[in-house]
Amino acid sequence: MLQDVIEAGNGDMIVNVGPQHPATHGVLHLVITIHGETIKKVEPHLGYIHRSIEKMCESLTYRQFIYVTSRMDYLSSHINNHACALLTEKALQIEVPERAQYIRVIMDELTRLASHQLWWGAMAMDIGALTPFFLAFREREMINDIMEETCGARLTMNYMVPGGVMFDIHPNFVQKVKEFNAHFKQKIDEYDELLTGNIIFQNRMKGVGVLSKEDAISFGCTGPTARASGVSCDIRKLFPYEVYDKVSFKECMATEGDSFARYVVRLEEMKESMRIIDQLIDNIPEGEIQGKTKAVLKPPKGEFYTRVETARGELGVYVVSEGATTPYRIKFRSPGFSNLSALDHIARGQKLGDLVAMMGTLDLVIPDIDR
């Protein structure tokens, strides 16, 4: 696990975790100062997968840059695309047909489910439980198949266009989503039985990496990480987009703020996602899948900001437009970047062995942090 250990004087040791470490699920490099087994400081070194997506987007048109964002948070690629499509629609006041809105939201929630499933399996694997990984991937495969049929790709779907979605849904789509939902409703109880109630698992998670409500706000944490600390920050509830104001779902919250609370919030969120899909899947209206747009999109001069709730939290897209076909400046406020900044704070005073539990429950996706 430890790449190299260097003596730093006064009994402190400096330990490098990553950039090639199985528990970072990507190329995150943490330089950790420990005293005995107690963590004194965690210092993330980023940039191993930095592609300067913001600079890249400055030379791409409003239709093109949507698909670059799939490569940021690759587990919620569809939701990233959604944020960019919403931005262009907001800037140019494009009407999205209702059918497209329904499809978009169903796809968003399927993406969220797939992302949380992968998180559940990978996080459990990091702390030593191998079985959940296989269970999670069994169910995730079904979602990937649904995606493949309709979007043509399994992970980076690139299904969004400004004004709607690229193709209509596959004839099997509704049937398959219903099958998946019925199947997963039973399987999620299996998840609970296997891991949530497990006393060894609980001992490793409870009281580990406590993030208070004030700190969560101050660090700009969003998504399940902040909601586990009692911060109400679900963009789907606060600033509903598409058809989120027509469906009923619960904002999953906890107050403990420890790793176990973050775990429970994500599991609950999966159940809520299924509820949203249940409400929408039977009612997809007939009609167009794309609104009317011009061939060349030129948003007016000004600044635009949209935000969506990805599987990790609030993704904000800030665009400065000069009235050209390409954005003058684009900034992605990625949820992972802010969530990572809290890692040092919550890890101090904890044991080195608990670090993977904290990293796992923060749900870090490195391309999202580095951009």
Partner 1 sequence: MTREELQSRISEIAPMATAIEGGEWLNMDVAPADWKNVAKLVRHTAGLDMDYLFCLTCVDWKTHLTMVYHLTSTTHRQTVVFKVKLDREKAEVDTVCDIWRTAEFHEREVFELFGVDFKGHPDLRKLILPDDWQGFPLRKDYEDPINMIKL
Which residues in the 2-61 window bind partner 1 by CB under 8 A?
44-47, 50, 52, 54-55, 59-60
For residues 31 and 281, which CB has a smaller minimum distance to partner 1 in the complex? 31
Residue 230 in tokens = 């009692």
Site membership for partner 1, residue 67 (CB under 8 A): no
Nearest to 161, CA basis, from 53, 55, 78, 75: 78
Least distance CB 209 / partner 1 (angstroms): 16
Which positions from 162 to 201 touch partner 1 by CB under 8 A, shown as an x/- string?
Answer: ----------------------------------------
Phi/psi for 34 (5° steps) reads -125, 150
CA dist 223 → 35, 309, 366, 368 (Å): 32, 7, 16, 14
Least distance CB 316 / partner 1 (angstroms): 5
Site membership for partner 1, residue 66 (CB under 8 A): no
For residues 91 and 276, which CB has a smaller minimum distance to partner 1 in the complex? 91
Q: Rg of the chain over CA atoms, in angstroms?
A: 21
For residues 123 and 226, which CB has a smaller minimum distance to partner 1 in the complex? 226
Least distance CB 298 / partner 1 (angstroms): 17
For residues 139 and 309, which CB has a smaller minimum distance to partner 1 in the complex? 309
| SS3 annotation, 143-167 | HHHHHHHHHCCCCCCCCEECCEECC
Site membership for partner 1, residue 245 (CB under 8 A): no
Site membership for partner 1, residue 321 (CB under 8 A): no
Phi-psi region for residue 313, left (φ > 0), alpha (ψ -120 to 50) or beta? left
> Measured between alpha carbons, how far is 332 from 75 in angstroms, rounded to an integer?
16
Cβ-contact 223, 339 below 8 angstroms: yes
Site membership for partner 1, residue 255 (CB under 8 A): no
Least distance CB 55 / partner 1 (angstroms): 6
What string of DSSP letters covers 204-265?
Answer: HHTTSS---HHHHHHTT--HHHHHTTT----HHHHS--TTTTTS-------SS-SHHHHHHH
Least distance CB 42 / partner 1 (angstroms): 13
Nearest to 339, CA basis, from 319, 360, 318, 356: 360
Site membership for partner 1, residue 289 (CB under 8 A): no
Q: Which of 159, 219, 241, 249 binds partner 1 (CB under 8 A)?
A: 219
> Measured between alpha carbons, how far is 173 from 171 in angstroms, rounded to an integer?
6
For residues 58 and 149, which CB has a smaller minimum distance to partner 1 in the complex? 58
Q: Establish whether the linkage from the previous residue to 19 is cis, with ω within 30° of 0.
A: yes
Q: What share of the chain is helix, strand, coil (3-state, %, to 5)?
A: 50, 15, 35
Site membership for partner 1, residue 320 (CB under 8 A): yes
Least distance CB 186 / partner 1 (angstroms): 37
Interacting residues toward partner 1 by CB under 8 A: 44-47, 50, 52, 54-55, 59-60, 215, 217-220, 231-233, 238, 302-305, 307, 314, 316, 318, 320, 328-329, 331, 333, 337-338, 340-341, 345, 370
